[in-house]
């Protein structure tokens, strides 16, 4: 797992659990993915991602609070996007494998 340091000095692990996925699904994964690709919307996407990660790890913050925790002069936002993308690709592969196994056992 990758740790990132927030502007308040706290270090968090970018881990994805079921609550993270639920929160991001509630927001809209396709919508989020689109925002991650658009330069003008990357900040909003970062806020949503960080918010979901913090919330799913027991911290109660708003999206705005989450945004305030990212240093604007840091590449943290891009690190978060890449890690999230890698984790989601791994999750999708596992889901596809499970579906294939389910089909084979029928």
Q: Are 80 and 67 in contact (CB under 8 A)?
A: no
Q: pLDDT tens across 87-102, in order? A: 778 888 888 888 888 8
pLDDT in tens, 59-88: 888 888 888 887 776 676 777 777 777 877
Sequence length of the chain is 106
Q: Return the closest-CA partner of residue 83 out of 19, 1, 8, 12.
A: 1
Q: What is the domain partition of the chain in residue ranges?
A: 3-104
């Amino acid at each position: 797992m990758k740790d990132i340091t927030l502007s308040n000095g706290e270090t968090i692990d970018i881990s994805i659990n079921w609550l993270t996925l639920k929160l991001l699904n509630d927001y809209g994964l396709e919508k989020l993915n689109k925002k991650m690709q658009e330069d003008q919307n990357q900040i909003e996407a970062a806020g949503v991602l960080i918010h979901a990660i913090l919330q799913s790890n027991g911290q109660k913050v708003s999206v705005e609070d989450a945004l305030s925790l990212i240093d604007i002069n840091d590449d943290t936002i891009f690190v978060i996007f890449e890690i999230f993308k890698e984790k989601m690709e791994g999750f999708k592969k596992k889901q596809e494998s499970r579906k294939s196994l389910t089909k084979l056992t029928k």
